[in-house]
Structure 1
Amino acid sequence: MGKLCSALALCLAAAAAPAAAGPAEEAERLYARFVAVQNAHDLERLRGLLLDSPRFLWVSNGLSLWGPDAMIARLSGFQANEVWCIDPDQRRASAVEVAPGAAFLHVPLVLTVGSAADPQRYHVLVSALCAETPDGWRIAALFTTDENRGEAAR
């Protein structure tokens, strides 16, 4: 009976275990951690979510920044504001697998930044290329731009 119970317990545990996530799901999980550490103003942990390479690229409204240190330096200035909060719109987010170890994630969000007395709200589009590395999933490239809130052209 003991062996049968053990086998049954193993089968139930296997059935309850989450299925392995694909690249799109991994990108979504990675970006959720990215938002959480930014909202926590934890730039050290944020750096660990970025591809550790001079080829890491952040394009922000036409400004190209190469390497994770450049991104952290720029973000440290932004996060010096009294208010810095990212609120992604998960309903409009979309992840697309581009290869077995890579996915492209597109997320509209609202960035609230500035003084506590007069914070500004910006509607931003973020697109992130997420890649599996030997150290886990990392953001390899990030593209941010102001969202055009007008009617989308098709």
Structure 2
Amino acid sequence: MLIQSHKKIPRLKYNIATFIAAVVTSACILVSIASAAAPEEEATELFKRFIVARHAHDDVTVESILWNSSEFLWVSRGIQTRGRDAAMKLFRSYYSATWKVEPEMDSFHAVKLSTDVVQILVPIVFTRAEAGQPAQKARFLISQSLVHQSDGWHIASILPIADTSLKK
């Protein structure tokens, strides 16, 4: 009898240890889920980072935010640009000119279309000019599609709609 009871104690310790490990793991998972930002919040932060990086001419950050795909799409001045490399070349060409975006964040809207896709709409005031020319301001509604990959969210498309405001 004494030998049998000693055999039960290690098994009981093992079961308690397994139970405690399961509880701790579950708690960690719940905390990480609860603390994870919603895709719409992450899209807002990505958009803000993108604008700051563009204004700072921070190529490394801008490039890391854009979707590294030949399917990336940016429409600018009526011309479609496909692929991240082509978009970066166009962005760099604007550095010698005036290029400033002032988003109206009070009207910013992000919607999760799926677990890996978010669509954003935001009115902006866009100030631009060729080098040496007077700057002109114009209002646009910017539509961006964002995709989520293993390394985070990326802008997959940038589509400006001229002289448009969101109506409520």
Does TM-score exceed 0.5, indicating one fold? yes
Equivalent of residue 70 in structure 1, options 86, 107, 112 = 86
User: Matches of residues 54-133 of structure 1 in structure 2 within 5 Å?
Assistant: 54-81=70-97, 83-114=98-129, 118-133=134-149
Cα distance in 1 for residues equivalent to 2:85 and 2:133: 31
Q: Once the two structures are aligned, what percentage of the paired residues are identical? A: 29
- Structure 1 residue 43: Cα displacement: 2.3
Q: Which runs of 5+ in 2 are unaligned?
A: 1-29
Normalising by the residue count of structure 1, what TM-score does the alignment of the two structures yield? 0.77
Cα distance in 1 for residues equivalent to 2:160 and 2:59: 18
Q: Which runs of 5+ in 1 are unaligned?
A: 1-13
**Aligned: 1:44 with 2:60:** yes
- Partner of residue 48, structure 2: 32
- Partner of residue 159, structure 2: 143
Q: Which has the higher contact order (CA 8 A, sep 6+)?
A: 1
Distance 1:62 1:117, change over 3 A: closer
- Partner of residue 11, structure 1: none
Which string of whole-angstrom CA distances, capped at 9 and with x for unpartnered residues, describes residues 20-73 of structure 1?
211111111111111000011112320110111111111235422110111111
- Structure 1 residue 93: Cα displacement: 1.1
* Alpha-carbon contact 1:61-1:146 (below 8 Å) kept: no
Q: CA RMSD in A?
A: 2.5
Moved over 3 A (4+): none
Cα distance in 2 for residues equivalent to 1:95 and 1:40: 24
- Amino acid of the residue matched to residue 108 of structure 1? P
Which string of whole-angstrom CA distances, capped at 9 and with x for unpartnered residues, describes residues 83-123 of structure 1?
32211000111101100122100011111123688321121
* Alpha-carbon contact 1:108-1:125 (below 8 Å) kept: yes
- Amino acid of the residue matched to residue 35 of structure 2? A
Which one has a bigger Cα radius of gyration?
Answer: 2
Cα distance in 2 for residues equivalent to 1:147 and 1:20: 36
* Alpha-carbon contact 1:60-1:145 (below 8 Å) kept: no
SS in 1 for 2:60: helix
Normalising by the residue count of structure 2, what TM-score does the alignment of the two structures yield? 0.71
Q: Between Structure 1 and Structure 2, which shows a larger proportion of helix residues? A: 2
